[in-house]
Amino acid sequence: MEFGEESSPALAFEKDAFELTVEDVYDISYVIGRDLLKISSTGEEVSDLQFRIVRVLEMFETLVNKYNLSVEELKMERDNLKAELDRIIREGSSSSGQSGQTVGANQLVVDLNDPNRPRFTMQELKEVLQERNQLKAQLMVAQEELQLYKSGILPQSEPAMVDVDLGTPAATEDSSSTINEKTTIGKL
């Protein structure tokens, strides 16, 4: 029956001490102030007590205010530390991957059962490609040379030009020129 405007400030008395806000302190002050008015007419001693109660309520207000601000600060501090911890854990896991335990950001897992897994080094590929391109260039030269013979620009009888067949060292003189050819290629 007395609910409504009267009951709500009084609710502040029922709250947990650590949940109190400055507004609750004002509600408490309101209720206590109202009760004090009821008894203030009875005597002189009451006004001293009234004064002290107001003083205590002011101190209470300051304490509640300070406490709430501290809680807020601590919450922020906690969130910052949590973020920092997450970051360190992430960095820690990626650097421990480099020491071999887990796989880090710059590492690749190779499936040994995959027939198309990478197997050759960049240097090996480089050498194979160089050899391929050399052979290709030599083939082109040989083709051009053949073209010149066919068109009759070059005489067939010129012996210095006919050591294209590198694989068949028939005479000793030929084989020496073959070795010569090989060492030349080796230098390229």
Q: Which residues bind other proteins (CB under 8 A)?
A: 122, 125-126, 129-130, 133-134, 136-138, 140-142, 144-145, 148, 153-155, 158-161, 163, 173, 177, 180-181, 184-185, 188
Comparing CB distances to other proteins, the nearer of 71 and 162 is 162
- The amino acid that residue 109 corresponds to is V
Residue 188 Cβ vs other proteins, minimum distance, rounded to whole Å: 6
Comparing CB distances to other proteins, the nearer of 11 and 137 is 137
- The amino acid that residue 81 corresponds to is L
Please check whether residue 90 is in contact with residue 105, taking contact to mean a CB–CB distance below 8 angstroms.
Answer: no
CA-based Rg of the chain, rounded to a whole angstrom?
A: 49
Checking 32-41 for CB contacts under 8 A at 24+ apart, the result is 32/57
Residue 86 Cβ vs other proteins, minimum distance, rounded to whole Å: 31
Comparing CB distances to other proteins, the nearer of 100 and 159 is 159
Comparing CB distances to other proteins, the nearer of 113 and 123 is 123
Q: Report the C-alpha gap between 162 and 169 in whole angstroms.
A: 12
Nearest alpha-carbon partner for 15 in 23, 7, 24: 24
Residue 120 Cβ vs other proteins, minimum distance, rounded to whole Å: 11
Please check whether residue 49 is in contact with residue 56, taking contact to mean a CB–CB distance below 8 angstroms.
Answer: no
